Amino acid sequence: MMSSPVRVRFCPSPTGSPHVGLVRTALFNWAFARHHGGQIVFRMEDTDRERSTQESYDSILDLWRWLGLDWDEGIEVGGPHGPYKQSERGDIYRDVLARLRESSYTYDCFCTNDEVTARRAASGSKMQGYDGFCRELSDEQRSAFEGEGRKPVVRFRMPDGSITWNDLVRGDITFESENVPDFALSRANGDPLYTLVNPIDDAHMEISHVLRGEDLLSSTPRQLALFEALVALGVAKEVPAYGHLPYVMGQGNKKLSKRDPEAHALAYREQGFLPEGLMNYLALLGWAIAADRDIFTVAEMVEVFDIKDVNPNPARFDLKKAEAINASHMRLLSVEDITHRALPFLKEAGVVADPVTDADAQLLELAMPLVAERINKLTEAAPMLGFLFVDEADFERDADDVAKLLDATGRGVVQASYDALAGLHAWSTAAIEEALRVALIERMELKPRVAFGPVRVAVTGKRISPPLFESMELLGRDRSLARLQSALV
């Protein structure tokens, strides 16, 4: 463990929809830094010019803000180690690359991929990667390659022996250098590669701890060897501590890929998840606050988070559990908070006007308590409450529910309900319930589920709705009776 202050980084690539595995990694970095009173640097690794897009860049920032993943230095915040986009740091990379080329840590390589492949095949070697052919070129060989017009790539010379580090999640890990081929730091046109720019950024930004996915573990020996060189050249102060977080697995015990619909983090906001619910669930993908506790806040996570407690085994993404965790966080919110958070979804669905009218606001204030305990995601408010706000000309009933519950028997129940309510003097929840129970349960001797299902479909349009009697009070006498009557046609 390093003696310097904790400094971690978010370093996403703006090349598509943010993956939940990326968010889980960011969350663990964030919790680690906040627990230790450290700092978080947010930079963009946008050197892939063909795939990087402004839309992806903006969506990552939007997602981070929604989740509450704040940062201390970097994109849109600034700081002493900028720029914080790799696309703007070219001069820094070229300077370090030049210093490396002047040292014994690198060498120029003129080989083509086809030549390396042919030599591997001829020797019968099964080892992947470069074979070290250009490690000790003579002046004559070099001149010959240059005479052919070949442009070299810069390769890092892996040291002999073994490379061992104490992984913050997995303990001691050792790679034999003979199994880690020399790797390229630049393209033949001089452009630096990710293998160079990522460690340079970590060095310049004084990153103390690198917490990243298990899929990057095999590249760590290369980064450690390069970091040792950067320290020797005065580019880096220290080598960071590394920790590799477990895979996030999808269905069939396969790594959750971008092709899997549950992988897209932004979709959870669109589906009405709470940021608190999503963050709670992602924290459980490799970590636990206690053996018998699944529900907690990020503040509670920060208070006790220890990277040593992260389980190195793969974690399976379970959408049903994510929804259950989110539902638990919905139960922790006040009705006012749920109303505030659901309002954008209600506007988008056209349930309420935008801006909200006084009448809609008053009705929503009365209606939301009826569904706050019943909805598990914010998107569920619109279909649950829509029947209260819709113009009568646009009111529709679910066709399947009509077929199931408004058959001849069901319409008979609706007719009895209309007759019982038409002459009701006080239109209140209690009075409506009393009238319907007398008419349907006492006189017709129906069971409650049989009695009230047809009424519910007639009045709300669905067999699943907010509490029936309260709904009818809010709907009002005239609209309730009109819907009962229209269900008989």
Catalytic residue numbers, as ranges: 258
Annotated binding residue 134: yes
Annotated binding residue 237: no
Annotated binding residue 111: yes
Annotated binding residue 434: no
Annotated binding residue 11: no
Q: What is the 3-state secondary structure (H, E, C) of the chain?
A: CCCCCCEEEECCCCCCCCEHHHHHHHHHHHHHHHHCCCEEEECECCCCCCCCCHHHHHHHHHHHHHHCCCCCEECCCECCCCCCEHHHCHHHHHHHHHHHHCCCCEEEECCCHHHHHHHHHHHCCCCCCCCCCCCCCCHHHHHHHHHCCCCCEEEECCCCCEEEEEECCCEEEEEEHHHCCCEECECCCCCECHHHHHHHHHHHCCCCEEEEEHHHHHHHHHHHHHHHHHHHCCCCCCCCEEEEECCEECHHHCECCCCCHHHEHHHHHHCCCCHHHHHHHHHCCCCCCECCECCCCHHHHHHHCCHHHCCCCCEECCHHHHHHHHHHHHHCCCHHHHHHHHHHHHHHCCCCCCCCCHHHHHHHHHHHHHHCCCCCCHHHHHHHHHHHHCCHHHCCCCHHHHHHHCCHHHHHHHHHHHHHHHCCCCCCHHHHHHHHHHHHHHHCCCCHHHHHHHHHHHHHCCCCCCCHHHHHHHHCHHHHHHHHHHCCC
Query: Is 308 exposed, middle or buried, given 0-12, 13-18 or 19+ CB atoms closer than 10 A?
Result: exposed
Residues belonging to the binding site for Zn(2+) are: 109, 111, 134, 136
Residues belonging to the binding site are: 109, 111, 134, 136, 258
Residues belonging to the binding site for ATP are: 258
